[in-house]
Structure 1
């Protein structure tokens, strides 16, 4: 059904005259007559009766009028649902306890008026495809993994370098250290069952191992952070890497230690990705907020893989 014809019908019913409705719609009276004639053909009924005073609704016109108004309101809602700024900003943070989630919490605190949808997508390919299709507006990623450059229509900006820390149980050989160097970690077993083959963080740890001769084990099922903490707390031979901003709580009896890593400090690089043609006004607000509040990157004494985008 032609919505312009329905809109014209409703305007005539409101004005009571074809001529006044034409003026209200900024079209000719002839165009109004053609629209109503086409609508009447589609419906198979007469909608108006011409009178000396103008136009009166027929019985069928009276029956159709409330439905016509419902159609027009539905059309207005449909347009409003996709109008820039009228829907929530959709952002992928990968995981709920990581640094990206913390950055978005800070953004929400600074801009509570902006409605947000926060999602967690595992693979960078899924995130990039979702950005390109419009399913999400932005994603936090460590870009770009070797051999997988971003598509030309995807923009990115480096927003945060997150230091890695060593997490040990109380009986680990390094548990009493105030800090450890990467060289001191050589020969120690670092257990990280959450490394997903093919992910950007798998590429990150592959480079870290190759650069500094570390031993990272990703064996065994990944039962989540609680099981990881239980195992590290009870196994003196195992430690794990934990990002500085990862929010975790464990029982006091675990006696876990977070130990800074130095000389150099390995940092996990977080970038914001978005489509260059995305018109959502809140996206620009998010980028400005991150530029003003994020600590920055490439500080002296830190390490990140050479394939990471530096801007």
Structure 2
């Protein structure tokens, strides 16, 4: 159905005269007549009874009017959903339990009037392409993963260096430790079934394992965090890595332990990745909020992160695609 004709019908119905409707639409009275006639032909009914003093709705016209108005409201909502400044800000957080989802929740708490669409794309390649193409406004990622440069016109701003923790069950040798070093975990099995090859987090943990002689095991199906914690809780040998800000809930009987890693502390470097020419006003507000809320920066040798990772302790300049 041609919405221009529907809009003309509504204007004529509200004005009661084709001439007055023409003035409000900045078209000729003849154009109003043609549009209404085309709509009547499409619907197969008369919508108006023409008279010297104006146009009066027929019974069919009265029945159609509320639906016509609803069509125009739907058109406006559809346009607003994709119009910069009117549509929600679309941000990818990788996972809704990830620390980056918490960063976005904190932003929304500080800016409750901002509409958000929260996405959970899987790979950095997919996320970078979505930012480049405008499908999403921003993503939180560790950059720059080897072999995956940022697209042209895309910028990364470091926003969080997140310390890792060792998560174990009560029978693990380090369950009672106040902290452990990565070197102490050499040769011990760290089970992380979500580490799929080609992802930036798999690249991060592969380099961590190589640096400290760890055994990061991704074997087995990934049934989610709950299943992982069930297995860890009942094992005397398995541990896993979780980020410090990742919220976890488990049954009381699991008695899981979250043990800080020290000397050095591996940190996962989160960046906000966005197009430099994206006009959405909430995107600038998000970047400013995250920059202002950034945690105090750790420096080497206190921390470890891959040499390829852009992180908050860097020179403070955004990383841009070439």
The residue number in structure 2 matching 1:83 is 83
2:119 aligned residue: 119
Change (3 A) 1:64 1:216: closer
Alignment deviations for residues 173-213 of structure 1 (CA, whole Å, 9 cap, x no partner): 33333222222222322222221111111100111122222
Matches within 5 A, 1:1-311: 3-4=3-4, 6-15=6-15, 20-27=20-27, 31-37=28-34, 39-40=36-37, 43-44=40-41, 49=50, 51=52, 53=53, 55-57=54-56, 62=61, 66=65, 69-295=69-295, 297=297, 299-300=299-300, 301-310=302-311, 311=318
Residue in 1 aligned with 2:314?
none
Offset, 1:16: 5.0
Contact 1:3/1:72 (8 A) holds in 2: yes
Summarize the Cα distance change of 1:147–1:9 in structure 2 as closer, same or farther, 3 Å threshold: same
Q: Using the alignment, how far apart are the partners of 2:80 and 2:295 within structure 1?
A: 37
Residue 304 of structure 1, CA deviation: 1.2
With over 3 angstroms needed to count, the CA separation of the structure-2 counterparts of 1:232 and 1:17, relative to structure 1, is: closer
- For the residue of structure 2 that corresponds to 1:262, the secondary structure is coil
Query: What TM-score comes out, normalization by structure 1 length?
Result: 0.81
Q: Distance in 2 between matches of 1:251 and 1:142?
A: 31
Q: Aligned equivalents of 2:97 and 2:151: distance in 1?
A: 28
> Contact 1:159–1:296 at 8 Å: present in 2 too?
no
CA 33–48 in structure 1, closer or farther in 2 if over 3 Å, else same: farther
Is the contact between residue 194 and residue 222 of structure 2 (CA under 8 Å) also seen in structure 1?
Answer: yes
Stretches of structure 1 lacking an aligned partner (at least 5 in a row): none
Q: 1:50 to 1:197 in 2, by over 3 A?
A: same
User: C-alpha distance in 2, partners of 1:257/1:72?
Assistant: 57
Alpha-carbon distance between aligned partners in 1 of 2:187 and 2:267, rounded to the nearest angstrom: 21
Calculate the aligned-residue CA RMSD, in Å.
Answer: 3.2
TM-score by length of 2: 0.79
Contact kept? 1:10, 1:69, Cα under 8 Å: yes
- Contact (CA 8 Å) 2:168, 2:175: kept in 1 or not? yes
Counterparts in 2 of 1:278 and 1:213: CA distance versus 1, 3 Å:
same
Q: Distance in 2 between matches of 1:161 and 1:274?
A: 18
Structure 1 residues 264 and 26, CA gap change in structure 2 (3 angstroms) = same
Q: CA separation of 1:226/1:281 partners in 2, compared to 1, >3 Å: closer, same or farther?
A: same
Distance (whole Å) between structure 2 residues aligned to residue 181 and residue 257 of structure 1: 15
